[in-house]
Amino acid sequence: MQKLTLKNISSIGLNIRKIAKPGVVILITGNLGSGKTTLIKNILSEHSVQSPSFLHALEYGEDFLHIDAYTFDNPKKIYELNLEEYLKTRCIIIEWGNLIKDLVNIFEAKIYEIEIKEIQKKSAKERFIFGLNNDMNFM
């Protein structure tokens, strides 16, 4: 577990970037407004990242596919995106990954799960990032 702040989100993004290679799927989960897209902007800092909410998926260069599973009216729409082909040359980052986690397990990929949790502390919410894989290190 690592506290997620505006000061350290850039370095956390860079460290996650180290695992973002072709054949890897990164599932990012958190409440609405918890910072999923902001984290992805820091993972893909050289790109102008937008939330793919209305498009389902956006490509960034030849290396990344960014998916927003929240907008799928049926989670099985993930199969229509031809992920097997993308995984050959790209890392796939999925916001709201918890909604389709069981469906991506069929692909031959290394899957990392990241969860952003908000915890109310006295007068403000604090965010913490959890790597749900034992081999994840954010700092």
Domains observed in the chain = 2-123 (3.40.50.300)
Coil/strand/helix, residue 66: strand
pLDDT of residue 136: 64
d(CA 14, CA 39): 10
The stretches of 25-138 forming alpha helices (DSSP H) are 36-43, 83-89, 101-104
Nearest to 20 by CA among 115, 71, 81, 89: 89
**pLDDT > 90 in the chain, percent:** 32
pLDDT at 139 over 60: no
* Region 56-84 average pLDDT: 87
Q: Residue 118: pLDDT band by 50, 70, 90 thresholds?
A: confident
Residue 77: which residues within 8 A CB-CB, separation 6 or more? 56
Give the 3-state secondary structure percentages of the chain, helix then strand then coil, rounded to 5.
Answer: 30, 30, 40
